[in-house]
Amino acid sequence: GQNIDQPTEMTATEGAIVQINCTYQTSGFNGLFWYQQHAGEAPTFLSYNVLDGLEEKGRFSSFLSRSKGYSYLLLKELQMKDSASYLCAPGNGNTGFQKLVFGTGTRLLVSP
């Protein structure tokens, strides 16, 4: 079976740092994605981790531990526009094709 666990909601202050955790159990794991989704809009790609470790991209970083089935998304210097849902999505499948299984998302509220 497949199971993804991430917090339902988090709050933080503008300028702060927030870490959104995700644990997963999925067969045939071949990488993990994070997507951002603003209310009423489509998800947009943030990051992709295949190997263990930290991937940094501007204010956003993502970490993966394959052995622990664990990932986190780190958002620095929070801005009001970062208020959105963040979706953890482990991928699985054979070479040449990858299906994503999405978590229910973490709704982040950034306050002034």
Partner 1 sequence: DVKVTQSSRYLVKRTGEKVFLECVQDMDHENMFWYRQDPGLGLRLIYFSYDVKMKEKGDIPEGYSVSREKKERFSLILESASTNQTSMYLCASNTRGAGEQYFGPGTRLTVT
Binding site for partner 1 (CB under 8 A): 31, 33, 41-45, 48, 87, 89, 91, 95-105
**Smallest distance from the beta carbon of 42 to partner 1, in angstroms?**
4
Q: In a 3-state reduction of DSSP, which class is residue 80? A: helix
Q: Which own/partner contact pairs does 25-31 have at CB distance under 8 Å and 24+ positions apart?
A: 25/1, 25/69, 26/2, 26/90, 26/92, 26/101, 27/2, 27/92, 28/92, 28/93, 28/94, 29/66, 29/90, 29/91, 29/92, 30/91, 30/92, 30/93, 30/98, 31/90, 31/91, 31/98
User: Nearer Cβ to partner 1, position 7 or 31?
Assistant: 31
**Smallest distance from the beta carbon of 80 to partner 1, in angstroms?**
23
**Smallest distance from the beta carbon of 61 to partner 1, in angstroms?**
17
User: Nearer Cβ to partner 1, position 33 or 63?
Assistant: 33
**Smallest distance from the beta carbon of 111 to partner 1, in angstroms?**
23
